[in-house]
Amino acid sequence: MQKLISRPLSNLPRPSLSFFLSQFVSKTTYDPSFSPISKPLEPPKLKPKPPDPKPNRNPASPIKSSLPFDFRHSYSESDPSLEPIGFREPKRFSPFGPGRLDREWTGTSAPVRDEVDSSRVEEERVRVLGDPLTEEEVGELVEKYRHSDCARQINLGKNGVTHNMLDDIHNHWKRAEAVRIKCLGVPTLDMDNVCFQLEEKSGGKIIYRHINILILYRGRNYDHKNRPVIPLMLWKPYAPIYPKLVKNVADGLTFEETKEMRNRGLHSPALMKLTRNGVYVNVVARVREAFETEEVIRLDCTHVGTSDCKRIGVKLRDLVPCMPILFKDEQIILWRGKTDREINSNISDANEKSSSI
């Protein structure tokens, strides 16, 4: 007994691995090395839904709008008096979608069907605007909406006052008294037209105008629940084909004189350099001032784009007025045309020649 006690613990016999397995593994379980795999459960089969007895295949009824003007893609960048000579897509493809509007698309606009009572429309607009704002009220609204971090802002780009923009304006007017409009690109050449189209088409009033920033007020009696129905355009229609902007021979000049004017314009220093989507508020005044001393001027429109160059030329032709004689390498060459003195001298010369004969 004393020998067993005096034996150190390290010399005691260690239990084997089979002893532990026999203690922890149940003897009743049967787990052979290759046990059969259980079959996965099949998902329950869903019964197909029976078809509707009477499916509604009729399209929705067309939208009727009480707006008293013809629907166009752009109201400020299109001229209703100018008729196109062709179309790039069939007239039956309405940008409002097939059967969604009760007006017929003519390729450029969707005209009003019923006669418009202009006096009644003006009375309704005056009623919505209510009493004129005081100077204090105007100052509060301007201070609230004129800053660049204003959340109620709409960006007006090269397409000008578009049809879908009217819906955006009314959506802002639902929770705000006014909306800030930032204008960029070609429409800034004629800001008076932009302001006129915004007021006429939306029914609001411009209470602030600074360079290219506008604030459009909704009116005292504006009710969002009674806002006009504005059907949205689903896509931008293709621009129609209009007559050629630049003729081979300018009116009032011969072919050689036209060629000489173009060469003079290309080699003359640029009056201004226009940037893409810039602010062109002072371009018309600068061109008019330059034509007092120059006969031909050049505008550098590098990186502006070919389409925007032609739009700028069209607007300058009507606003200055002048005559674009060349668009080349994003350069616009403008001719001021013949002055009254030159026209009178030509007439007198022609009369002298006829009298001598």
pLDDT at 114: 85
Q: Helix, strand, or coil here: 4?
A: helix
Task: Answer yes or no: is pLDDT of 328 > 70.
Answer: yes
Residue with the bigger pLDDT between 213 and 16: it is 213
Q: What residues form DSSP beta bridges with 178?
A: 217
pLDDT band, residue 280 (cuts 50/70/90): very high
Residue with the bigger pLDDT between 348 and 69: it is 69
**Measured CA distances, 19 to 14, 16, 355 (Å):** 10, 5, 141
Contact indicator for 222, 178 with CB cutoff of 8 Å: no
Task: Answer yes or no: is pLDDT of 177 > 60.
Answer: yes
pLDDT digits (tens, 9 = 90+) for 132-172: 999 999 999 999 999 988 999 999 999 999 999 999 999 99
Rounded to whole angstroms, how far apart are CA atoms 77 and 188? 11
Q: Any residues with CB less than 8 A from the CB of 232 and at least 6 apart, and which?
A: 96, 163, 164, 167
pLDDT digits (tens, 9 = 90+) for 84-106: 999 999 988 999 999 899 999 99
pLDDT digits (tens, 9 = 90+) for 30-42: 555 555 666 666 7
Mean pLDDT for the stretch of residues 242-248: 90
The domain defined by 71-217 carries CATH number 3.30.750.24? no
Contact indicator for 334, 323 with CB cutoff of 8 Å: yes
CB atoms within 10 A of CB 95: 19
Q: Which residue has the tokens 């084997």?
A: 16
pLDDT at 197: 96
Query: Out of 4-18, 48-62, 191-205, 323-337, which region has the weakest mean confidence (pLDDT)?
Result: 4-18
pLDDT band, residue 57 (cuts 50/70/90): very low
Mean pLDDT for the stretch of residues 263-278: 94
pLDDT at 56: 45
Say which CATH superfamily domain 244-341 falls into. Answer: YhbY-like (3.30.110.60)
Task: Answer yes or no: is pLDDT of 2 > 70.
Answer: no
Task: Answer yes or no: is pLDDT of 10 > 90.
Answer: no
Percent of the chain residues topping a pLDDT of 90: 66
Task: Kindly list the domain boundaries of the chain, sorted by start residue.
Answer: 71-217, 244-341
Q: Helix, strand, or coil here: 319?
A: helix
pLDDT at 260: 94
Q: Which residue has the tokens 């018309």?
A: 284
pLDDT at 1: 45
User: Any idea what DSSP says for residue 224?
Assistant: G
